[in-house]
Amino acid sequence: MKAFYLFLFLFLSAFCSKAQNAISFDSIAFGSSLLTEDAIYFCTGELIKSDYQGNVLWSKTGAPEHSIIKLKDNFLYLIYTAGASNFASKLDSAGNLLWSRTFNQHICTSQQSNSLTDIVINGNRVYILCNQTYQGVGGFSYPSLITLDTSGTIINVWCDSFFYDGNFTYGVERLAGGLWIGDHDGGNIIVTGSFSVDANGIPSTNLPGSSFLSGQFSYINNVLTKTNSEHCYFVNNFNTPYRTQPFIVFESDDGFIHQYKGYDAPQFFEGMKFITACHDSMDNLYILAEGVYPAEPILFKTDPYGNILTVKSWSPSALNAYQLQFPDGYSHSQMICRNDSLYVTCLINNKTSILVFDSVLNTSCFNPDLTVQINDSLDILPTSGISTSYVPPISYTQVDSVYNTQIAYHSNGFPVCIISSVGQIESNERLILYPNPVMNASTLTVSSEFENGELKIYNQLGNVIKQQKMEGTSTQIESAGLAEGLYIIKVSSAQNKVYGKFMVTKHN
């Protein structure tokens, strides 16, 4: 009996460590999101904070679906464009508004519409990346930068006329102060680069800087600051006419590019593109990509310099069986490494969800079923030379808006685990449980390969809560009266025994 309880403890420990490998939310739409060490933030028409157990902590009105969220020193910063107005706000970790600013005036020239694309916080400075589309003849655009202090006071506004008809994409804080900005040509895809801006938002033209000239680069999708002071720029690269070859640019904090790593997935007709990325405490990189045709998600892990360690993917049949999606676009999937696990936002059965992977990219209930071969040695030829321009500061309207507390009516997240069968534990006999998970007050069908076995069900404390004799190789169990949670089932005969697990849930 002691041996059984030891087995049960180890069995439960192994399974429970992965039981909540996905959390789904009933009434939170898939909008922009931010994953941090201790909480998850969603912008879906309001601002919602949840923990990693799926508990909604609070909800606030006033945050449009496509708000960009950043967390720094336990303060939340949001930027968004609504109609002709652009807003930036600072909130505390409880969602209380500290200040809000509206930016409506033209920065570079007149007859332009502004849109905010990223926000970077470094020290006591807040940097807002802005793109402006010229409404007159020609229709070109200018990227620009708005610099504030953390109290919301305007420090400087700068217009980058060198990159006219270009767009700023992402920024990353620079350890020496200020930030690095990534940009791209929005239409012709001619020049893409990164350059340094000092603490007051003024371009540092005397620093080396870096730029790329290839006629192929589309946009910088993500920027990471690694623990060794390197910056990783994740770029999607389009060859004529369709094929996609993404790559990573590794850049030191002095602006020198010291390595490229290009990727190619030859079995995909049109290649693949990066969606999002993160890194762990050892600077290994985790990258979520997508095959362009067919549109299959690809998840892979590299060493700190982009050399591939593990690649996983899902077949269309697996995606359909799991009802699993990793959205791209304006509100794309996000990821973070946390407690030696990888957390990724996704859709499961059309519900906003958080999926958890171990260090080798496995997950117990939504496991990838394909191995993808990716070439990680494509050549990228860099060029250098970047110039910038400066315009005097412009006064911007400073107004306070309100983030109203909203009752957190959103259903708390609940663990999701789709299992259709359970492998054998201690014998060569098979045990099949269906459906699994089983809805409370529904019927669980139990099938075994040997006849007239004795069936016992144990709770997580090891107590027998149901016991009955099987007639033939199959029987049914009513789950009414069973609380939500994990259960162990044992079917035994005179010579054999087999164990399985099933879950009882109140959710579909």
In a domain, 332, yes or no: yes
Q: Which run of H or E residues covers position 16?
A: helix 2-19
Of 9-23, 107-121, 327-341, the one with minimum mean pLDDT is 9-23
Question: Is there a single domain that holds both residue 438 and residue 310?
Answer: no
pLDDT score of 459: 75
Residue 324 lies in a domain: yes
Q: For residues 254 and 376, state if they share a domain.
A: yes
Domain count within the chain: 2
| pLDDT tops 80 at residue 51 | yes
Q: What is the mean pLDDT of residues 406-418?
A: 77
Residue 465 has which token pair? Answer: 């809560």
Q: Is residue 72 part of a domain?
A: no
Is residue 456 within 8 A of residue 475, CB to CB? The reply is no
Q: Flag whether 133 is in a domain.
A: no
| Domain final position from 380, 409, 428 | 380
- The mean pLDDT of 167-175, rounded to a whole number, is 77
73 within domain boundaries: no
Q: Looking at the DSSP assignment, which residues form a beta bridge with residue 245?
A: none
pLDDT digits (tens, 9 = 90+) for 260-287: 788 887 666 677 888 888 888 888 899 9
Spatial distance between the Cα atoms of 403 and 94, rounded to a whole number of angstroms: 11
With H, G, I as helix, E, B as strand and everything else as coil, classify residue 67.
coil
Give the highest mean pLDDT range of 35-39, 65-69, 378-382, 391-395.
35-39
Is 112 a domain residue? no
CATH number, domain with residue 437? 2.60.40.1930
For residue 38, pLDDT beyond 50:
yes
Whether 215 has a pLDDT exceeding 70, the answer reads no
Report whether pLDDT(343) > 60: yes
Range scoring the smallest mean pLDDT among 61-75, 391-405, 443-457 = 391-405
- Of the candidates 420, 439, 438, the one whose C-alpha atom is nearest the C-alpha of residue 430 is 420
pLDDT per position as a tens digit, 281-313: 888 899 999 887 667 899 999 998 889 999 999
Q: Are residues 319 and 447 in the same domain?
A: no
SS3 state of residue 281: coil
What's the whole-model pTM score?
0.73
Same structural domain, 254 and 322: yes
Q: Which two tokens stand for residue 407?
A: 């009752």
Q: Greater confidence, 449 or 14?
A: 449
Total Cβ atoms within 10 A of residue 32: 22
Q: Are residues 343 and 480 in the same domain?
A: no
Dist CA 73 CA 119 (whole Å): 15
CB atoms within 10 A of CB 330: 9
Radius of gyration of the CA atoms of the chain, in A: 26
Write down the pLDDT at residue 326.
93
Say whether 496 sits in a helix, a strand or coil.
coil
Mean pLDDT of 406-419: 75
DSSP labels, 74-128 = TEEEEEEEETTEEEEEEEETT--EEEEEEE-S-SSSSSEEEEEEEEEEETTEEEE
pLDDT per residue as tens digits for the range 137-146: 555 667 788 8
Q: Comparing 8 with 191, which gets the higher pLDDT?
A: 8
In the structure, what pLDDT confidence band is assigned to residue 178 with cuts at 50, 70 and 90?
Answer: confident
What confidence category does residue 165 fall into, taking pLDDT thresholds of 50, 70 and 90?
low
The verdict on 367 and 476 lying in the same domain is no
Q: Which residues contact 65 (CB under 8 A, 6 or more apart)?
A: 29, 31, 32, 43, 44, 45, 331
321: which DSSP letter? Answer: H
Residue predicted with more confidence, 114 or 191: 114
| Domain contains 156 | no
Residue 258 or residue 89, greater confidence: 89
DSSP-based three-state secondary structure for 347 = strand
Task: Identify the weakest region by mean pLDDT among 8-12, 70-74, 81-85.
Answer: 8-12
Same-domain check for residues 366 and 447: no
Closest-CA residue to 484 (of 432, 416, 431): 416
Report which listed range, 275-284, 349-358, 452-461, is most confident.
Answer: 349-358
Task: Indicate whether 403 belongs to any domain.
Answer: no
CB half-sphere exposure, 441, CA atoms < 13 A? 3
Which residues are CB-neighbours of 317 under 8 A, at least 6 positions away? none
Q: Are residues 355 and 442 in the same domain?
A: no
**Average pLDDT of 379-385?**
49
In terms of residue numbers, what domain contains 422?
A: 417-505
Torsion of CA 389, 393, 399, 402, to 10 degrees: 40
Do 370 and 437 fall into the same domain? no
Is residue 235 a contact partner of residue 253, using CB atoms and an 8 Å limit? no
Average pLDDT, the chain: 75
Task: Identify the pLDDT of residue 287.
Answer: 92
Summary count for the chain: helices (H), strands (E): 2, 40
Question: E-assigned strands of 135-230?
Answer: 141-149, 154-159, 166-173, 179-185, 191-197, 210-213, 217-225
Q: Residues 449, 365: one domain?
A: no
Work out the burial of residue 116: count CB atoms within 10 Å of its CB; fewer than 13 is exposed, 13-18 middle, 19 or more buried. buried
Tell which wins on pLDDT, 254 or 479: 479
Asked if 338 and 239 sit in the same domain, the reply is: yes
What is the pLDDT at residue 184?
A: 59
- On whether both 375 and 274 belong to a single domain, the answer is yes
Q: Of 412, 472, 413, 475, nearest to 443 (Cα)?
A: 475
pLDDT surpassing 70 at residue 254: no
pLDDT tier at 223, thresholds 50, 70, 90: low
| Residue where a domain stops, chosen among 356, 380, 404 | 380
Whether 382 shows a pLDDT value over 50: the answer reads no
Helix (H) or strand (E) holding 288: strand 285-291
With a pLDDT cut of 90, the percent of the chain lying above it is 20
- Separation of alpha carbons 373 and 277, rounded Å: 19
Return the pLDDT at 160.
64
φ/ψ (deg, to 5) at 351: -110, 135
